[in-house]
Amino acid sequence: MMVGMAPIDFKNSIALVTGASSGIGRQVALDLAAQGATVVASSRSRARLDETAAALKRYGGASEVVECDVSDPAAVKRMVQDALAKFGRVDILVNNAGFGDYLPLAETPIETVESMLRTNYLGTVYCTKEALPSMIARRSGAIVNISSISGIMGTPEIGPYCATKFAQIGLSESLYHELKPHGVHVAVICPGPVRTNFRRSFDARAPEPPEFMVLESTDVSRAVMRAIAKRKFRIVMPRSLALICYLKGVFPGVMRFLIYHAMTAASRRSRAPKA
């Protein structure tokens, strides 16, 4: 039986944000806290989490930071069980932790491919599986997965990363239908390039995106808030890339041709020796 969903009141909510030691995750944690949520902000690096903790302090309340590697199911279980024991519930889960690599598959160590899958995709699965039973029991909750434009469009030299982001979208779409009757909203955000530490691990020859396509963490965080408040399923951004994704859906062959030529030209330019 389909039921209407109770609106999520940010003010009194308990939110768990992964990958909150920098970039998008930190911004989402701060924006949720600014709206009165109690935030459990997690990642692996204690030093960077301390910076998040200091920023969260400005908003008062009981928000906290927790060390957790999302690719470790036992660590995820501990983190979620501790949050449930301490706060009684998790209303909002933002699966954001992730990393990417920019290298042809032939040059990518298999350990990197496996680690990316364990972090970006399985991390999302582990956190969701742990938080879900209590959301279903309370018939309320929101799960927001941070995927990417790379989850809609495969581009050269980023295949293993694209695969993890496609997987997150497939999982989100299935869960959206599965959990709606239980009062739990699922959303997926698909940003293009965002100005964060993310590209640090990229091969130095990775092409730079055109400036007009580059988002800030604040743009993505706003999309997360909108997805929760307005029960949006998928938000693709910026608009220029959303249009390209739309055209890819309508004219897949034409767009494959155009994307191939645009991306290989960009790749050639970035790999040419600098004058």
Ligand X SMILES: NC(=O)c1ccc[n+]([C@@H]2O[C@H](COP(=O)([O-])OP(=O)(O)OC[C@H]3O[C@@H](n4cnc5c(N)ncnc54)[C@H](OP(=O)(O)O)[C@@H]3O)[C@@H](O)[C@H]2O)c1
Q: Which residues bind ligand X (CB under 6 A)?
A: 18-25, 43-45, 48, 69-71, 96-100, 119-120, 146, 148, 191, 193-194, 196-198
- Minimum Å gap between C-beta 3 and ligand X is 31
Give the C-alpha separation, 101 to 249, whole Å: 26
What distance in Å separates the CA atoms of residue 246 and residue 241, rounded to the nearest whole number? 9
Tell me the C-alpha distance between 252 and 256, whole Å: 6
Supply the minimum distance, in Å, between the C-beta of residue 178 and ligand X. 22
Q: Which is nearer to ligand X, 58 or 200 (CB)?
A: 200
Q: How far is the CB of 255 from ligand X (least distance, A)?
A: 19
Nearer to ligand X, 16 or 175 (CB): 16
With contact defined as beta carbons under 8 Å apart, do 30 and 4 qualify? no
The answer to whether 260 is a known catalytic residue is no
Compute CA distances 143 → 99, 121, 250, whole Å: 20, 14, 29
Q: For residues 63 and 196, which CB has a smaller minimum distance to ligand X in the complex? A: 196
The SS3 call for residue 108 is coil
Q: What share of the chain is helix, strand, coil (3-state, %, to 5)?
A: 55, 15, 30
Residue 2 near residue 180 (C-beta atoms within 8 A): yes
| Closest approach of ligand X to the CB of residue 195, in Å | 7
Q: Which two tokens stand for residue 90?
A: 């998790």
* From 121, 161, 246, 260, active-site residue: 161
> Least Å distance between CB 275 and ligand X?
28
Q: DSSP letters of 216-252?
A: PHHHHHHHHHHHHHTT-SEEEESHHHHHHHHHHHH-H
CB closer to ligand X out of 136 and 259: 259
With respect to ligand X, which residue has the nearer C-beta, 197 or 264? 197
Which tokens in the block code for residue 101? Answer: 């690599």
Catalytic residues: 161
